Amino acid sequence: MKVAFYTLGCKVNLYETEYMMSLFKQNNYDIVDFKSQSDIYVINGCSVTNNSDNKSLKIIKNIINRKYDKILIVTGCFSQNKKEELKDYKIDIILGNNEKSKVIEYLNKYLEDKKNIYVVNNPKDFVFENMYLSHFETKTRAFVKIQDGCDNYCSYCIIPYLRGSCKSKDKDLILKEVNELVNNNYQEVVLSGIHTGFYNSNNYDLSDLLNDLNKIKNLKRIRISSIEVTELNSKFINELKNNKKIVDHLHIPLQSGSDKILKLMNRKYSLDFYYNKIKEIRSIRKDISITTDIIVGFPNESEEDFNNTLEFVKKIKFSKIHVFPFSRRKNTKADVMDNQIDNNIKKIRSNKLIELSKQLEIEYLNKFINKKLDVIFESKEKGYYIGHSSNYILVKTKYKIFKIKKLEYPYLIGGKDE
């Protein structure tokens, strides 16, 4: 039988889809492109914003409307959030966020009795769903999920209600997984989680994990998907200083450049705290790329608050900003706040911040003209090889290939990029 997958949302979702794919492959299913005709479709949906909900539902409807027999499985934050609404659609198997590792079991049960399956449990009861990968089919760098859930309860965010509280993967399982990935020629791993910096396995924290990963001989790079500024403690800063395998890129969400709005968002830091942490990081990693997330149009955000955000962004000089118009999520505190911002104003502010992000990105990239960068190449296109530097600059170049241990590895020999 053939199975096709569609993933929306974060790197954790990508990892979890990859794990489900591995289960299907182990059970002799053929993985096919989502656009092609398949016996089974698995949609791993996202619900972080209203736009994410709409995209997830659009994909589901697209499969339902295909005029041939198929089995449709929907899982992820979208099914966790919209469990009641999804019952009205022709979906064969609906699974919540803590059931992905059992997808084959549920499918076999469905194939046996042809009865719809609906398993969406309370996130308060979630435990860490252990998953393990030795290959990562859809990427050249490998994601490793080390953590799940969140206890921050930012006033705009629905994810703690869909993923449950913080929980972490056993350190020995992570180290075993990364070792196996490296043995399978992955040179970079991306540590991923809902609240990655909160990783803690029996008082063994993220800095301890980074230190141990540094000892893995052929691992070239360690990337962290995202980390909160409040988790950049002295222990982490020291590890960043001494561990050369940690890449020159950190994604540190800001969310607003107004202390008033940060407080309303229930963020746990001030602008001064954020600024001083970035300053400290740049004192030990001069050219590090700092990227961020910012929400515009949060309730009560005045024009002055937004202008303060623009000025703070210029002060920090982020290399890229992911801009999100505020999205009202039911059951969050921000949904019922007074002074909701008009959508047109959100759009205007989003566009202004996006334009500023483009300017800052060009400014950052220009710093590296005529400089050498260490690149891991990932793909080939029309005679050129494409990859990323440690600080996540996309590089396109012609280069020679040397054979090492019977495997082809790209090697950049320097000189001009033709």
Whole-number Å distance between alpha carbons of 37 and 71:
11
- Does 241 fall in a domain? yes
User: 64: closest CA among 89, 85, 81?
Assistant: 89
**Given pLDDT bands bounded at 50, 70 and 90, which one contains residue 414?**
very low
- Does 416 fall in a domain? no
Query: Do residues 255 and 243 both lie within one domain?
Result: no
Q: What is the DSSP secondary-structure string of 327-377? A: ---TTSGGGG-SSPPPHHHHHHHHHHHHHHHHHHHHHHHHTTTT----EEE
Whole-number Å distance between alpha carbons of 305 and 258:
5
Rounded to 5 degrees, φ, ψ at 396 are -125, 125
Q: Identify the H or E element spanning 148.
A: strand 147-148
User: 15: closest CA among 129, 170, 127?
Assistant: 129
Among 224, 247, 270, the domain boundary falls at 247
| Residue whose token pair is 């019952």 | 87
Instruction: Dump pLDDT digits (tens) for 84-128.
Output: 999 999 999 999 999 999 999 999 999 999 999 999 999 999 999
Query: Do residues 165 and 133 both lie within one domain?
Result: yes
Give the pairing of strands 200-201 and 204-205: antiparallel
List C-alpha distances in Å: 346 to 144, 231, 300, 314.
35, 30, 12, 20
Query: Do residues 341 and 257 both lie within one domain?
Result: yes
CATH of residue 328: 3.30.750.200
Query: Do residues 229 and 332 both lie within one domain?
Result: no
Instruction: Dump pLDDT digits (tens) for 238-249.
Output: 999 999 999 999
- Does 418 fall in a domain? no
Using DSSP's 3-state secondary structure scheme, residue 223 falls into: strand
Mean predicted confidence (pLDDT) in 167-192: 95
Cβ distance 223 to 189 under 8 Å? yes
Mean predicted confidence (pLDDT) in 252-278: 98
Tokens (6 digits) for 415: 């000189």
Instruction: Dump pLDDT digits (tens) for 44-61.
Output: 999 999 999 999 999 999
Q: What is the DSSP secondary-structure string of 57-105? A: HHHHHHHHTSSS--EEEEEEHHHHHSTTGGGGS--SEEE-TT-GGGHHH
Range of the domain at 43: 2-121
Query: Do residues 357 and 394 both lie within one domain?
Result: no
Whole-number Å distance between alpha carbons of 71 and 29:
14
Query: Do residues 150 and 163 both lie within one domain?
Result: yes
Domain count, the chain: 4
Query: Do residues 164 and 233 both lie within one domain?
Result: yes
Whole-structure pTM value: 0.91
Mean predicted confidence (pLDDT) in 251-268: 98
Query: Do residues 117 and 9 both lie within one domain?
Result: yes
**Given pLDDT bands bounded at 50, 70 and 90, which one contains residue 381?**
confident
Q: Identify the H or E element spanning 404.
A: strand 400-404
